[in-house]
A and B are shown apart, each in its own frame.
Chain A
Amino acid sequence: MRTIDKRARVTRRNFLKSGAAAAGVTAFASGTVAIDANGAWAMTTEHLKPETMTTLVKMARDLYPHDRLGDVYYAKAVEAYDGKAGADATLKQLIEQGVAEMNSLAQAKYAMPYAAVNEEGDRVAVLRSIETTPFFQKIRGDMVVALYNQPAVWVKFGYEGSSAEHGGYLERGFNDIDWLKDA
């Protein structure tokens, strides 16, 4: 049967280019660059603290962990928060306070900020303790859309997205299953 090539097509370079284009020259000049320690992603923040963005990226991964996905997809999913926080002071406060609370819980438990905690299970324990908060619910509800609504992510899961422009699947494997004995 026809299967999908799941190799990554999004590189850090592509992401930076699209991020800068979306943010615009002014924002790029006045903003702060948040950059992942491993250099997997980078983005300009204007309204949220760079370390807040770094924490949100880690939180997004802990909410919806897929080992096959690089951090770049999680960064893409949280990217829009910076602009939204600029337009919505209540949201900005919700995020900054939420992240601060996560960090203080992590400090109390593991003597380091949330994003620095090495074990996923330890970070998840922090998330469980804030599961009912409006901050957690907001981020979770947004991430389940923003992460999985990226065409670059679809490819990694073998989902092909829009098909009408390719003439559908009539000649592209709609019935090509080959491992059922009795199909």
Chain B
Amino acid sequence: MAAKFDLNDDGVVVIVGSGAGGGTLGNELAQKGVKVVVLEAGPRVGMEEFVNNEWESFSQISWLDKRTTSGSWRVAKDFAGLPAWIVKAVGGSTVHWAGASLRFQDHEFKTRFHYGELSGANLLDWPVTLQEMEPYYARAEYKMGVTGTNGIPRLPGNNNYKVLAAGAKALGYKEFHSGNMAINSQERDGRASCRQIGFCFQGCKTGAKWSTLMAEIPKGEETGNLEVRSDAQVIKIEHDASGKVTGVLYGDKAGNVHRQKARIVAVAGNSIESPRLLLNSASSMFPDGLANSSGQVGRNYMRHTTGSVYATFENPVHMYRGTTMAGIVRDEARFDTSRGFAGGYELETLSLGLPFMAAFLNPGAWGRSFTSALDSYDHMAGMWIVGEDMPQETNRITPHATEKDRFGMSVPNVHFDDHPNDVAMRNHAFRQGSAIYEAVGATRTIHTPPYPSTHNLGTNRMSEDARDGVVNKHGQAHDVKNLFISDGSQFTTGAACNPTLTIVSLAIRQADFIADSMSKREI
């Protein structure tokens, strides 16, 4: 059963956040006998409580705390208070994710080497290689039950996928299939087989989709070594005179503040909250924020070069039936600068229900040009672009100068401008996406601007050299040896694929490192 640790227990590992990084790290450590307290800012919502209703679910699980935006990205205009569409609940954004589980390509760990000096881009090679990561990717795929790996059959393609596949084939693309998905195509690991419900973004109501809520956390709790405290927002990480962290201050639902002591602190609050917490933990010893001697905390914010292509057809599609992300075209993920940009992109099916389609198809639009597209809702197919965007130092999370939350923490501002490489890639992807649908008779294609960010990356990046980044190859802070970063904020660059599999793989690897270092009494 779930453990219960004392606030003064200074032998525990405190993990901030329970998503792909924090939830996985917590279970992995608990399995090794390490005592873990996971502090999750949101509530614990069970799968039976999830709702197949987009707006209702949005209110139920989204991170809706105040945030501000700046920069030239369109999200700042259309969704000024909602830079990211992520989850505030136990399980973090693994509750909301669609399940696409792809490995980085070899060159994507060495972008500075392969892409060279790109003006305005703060490119850097990862301090790890694909070869080093492969065993951890394999463990993550097995743990998550990724289709198309470990002999697990792929999911059957739905209508939306069939349109994508037929168009891709007509265009001459070679690598397209129903994806490598962390969604059970058959019963596995105590979780059900997918019923093609749709509403993957709203929390899977059968548990067929892997999430830390349904898989990692219950397993960790069974060991008796893991305690998850929900409605616990960490406000500050504290340290002693030697510079080692000693615990955290967190606020509970009632607004009371507690101090949880810790031997190690691992931060996994997603790429907006994680740097926010480090910056809010500034002290006389660390005046620019904890672990920030490089000045890189909060910088290099990446969100993937995204956008969507929707197309209407003469005949019905009913794209909303079945898994949200039902298939992928991978041919454009290659590294090939002859297209006019560095890096690559994936094209993945995506569907929205009518309420969200109205809100996101062309935010702010009204009148007949807009509504005539919605008139064809059940004749629509859709895809999402996931491309590698360039890290830029000026794309960053900063504490708001005046706005504070109820615990006195400055609310985060998210600044983002597209790099010219991002724009060139998006335009290429829009053209190819339209071509795919036109090849199978689309009567109209619509290029939808990026939604609020779901892939938030890079704001506490890994680097070989302590001057270039925040953490080393194990996610360990360069400046503080018992402080770790365990989420997507440690990404040096973003690659052309969904980040969750890599976050989980890094967490598995980090758990091995932490447990080993603890047993050797190095931390």
Check if A175 sits within 8 Å of B366, measured CB to CB: no
Task: Take A160-B320, A163-B198 as given contacts and tell me if A66 and B371 are in contact as well, using a CB distance cutoff of 8 Å.
Answer: yes
A158 close to chain B: CB less than 8 A: yes
Of A62, A159, A170, which contacts B378 at CB under 8 A?
A: A159
Check if A168 sits within 8 Å of B195, measured CB to CB: yes
Residues of B within 8 A of A157 (CB): 354, 374-375, 377-378
Question: Nearest residue in A to B162 (C-beta to C-beta)?
Answer: A183
Smallest CB separation, B184 vs chain A (Å): 13
B409 close to chain A: CB less than 8 A: no
Chain B residues bordering chain A, tally (CB within 8 A): 46
Check if A183 sits within 8 Å of B166, measured CB to CB: yes
- Scan residues 189-233 of chain B and give those whose CB is less than 8 A from a CB of chain A: 194-199, 205-206
The B interface, classified by DSSP as helix, strand, loop or mixed, is: loop
- Scan residues 124-144 of chain A and give those whose CB is less than 8 A from a CB of chain B: 124, 127, 140, 144
Residues of B within 8 A of A163 (CB): 52, 197-199, 321
B245 close to chain A: CB less than 8 A: no
B472 close to chain A: CB less than 8 A: no
Check if B198 sits within 8 Å of A168, measured CB to CB: yes
A172 close to chain B: CB less than 8 A: yes
Residues of A within 8 A of B206 (CB): 164
A68 close to chain B: CB less than 8 A: yes
Chain A residues bordering chain B, tally (CB within 8 A): 44
- Scan residues 69-107 of chain A and give those whose CB is less than 8 A from a CB of chain B: none
Of A65, A149, A153, A160, which contacts B371 at CB under 8 A?
A: A65
Smallest CB separation, B377 vs chain A (Å): 4
Residues of A within 8 A of B367 (CB): 62-63, 65, 124
Check if B199 sits within 8 Å of A65, measured CB to CB: no
A176 to B158, CA, bound (A): 8
Check if A145 sits within 8 Å of B355, measured CB to CB: yes
Spell out A's residues near B (CB within 8 Å): 1-4, 62-66, 68, 124, 127, 140, 144-145, 147-149, 153-154, 157-165, 167-170, 172-177, 179-183
Please name 20 pairs of A and B residues whose Cβ atoms are closer than 8 Å in the assembled complex, sorted by A. Answer: A3-B316, A4-B378, A64-B366, A66-B375, A145-B55, A149-B55, A149-B355, A157-B375, A158-B318, A159-B354, A159-B377, A163-B199, A163-B321, A170-B195, A174-B158, A175-B162, A177-B162, A177-B316, A177-B317, A182-B170
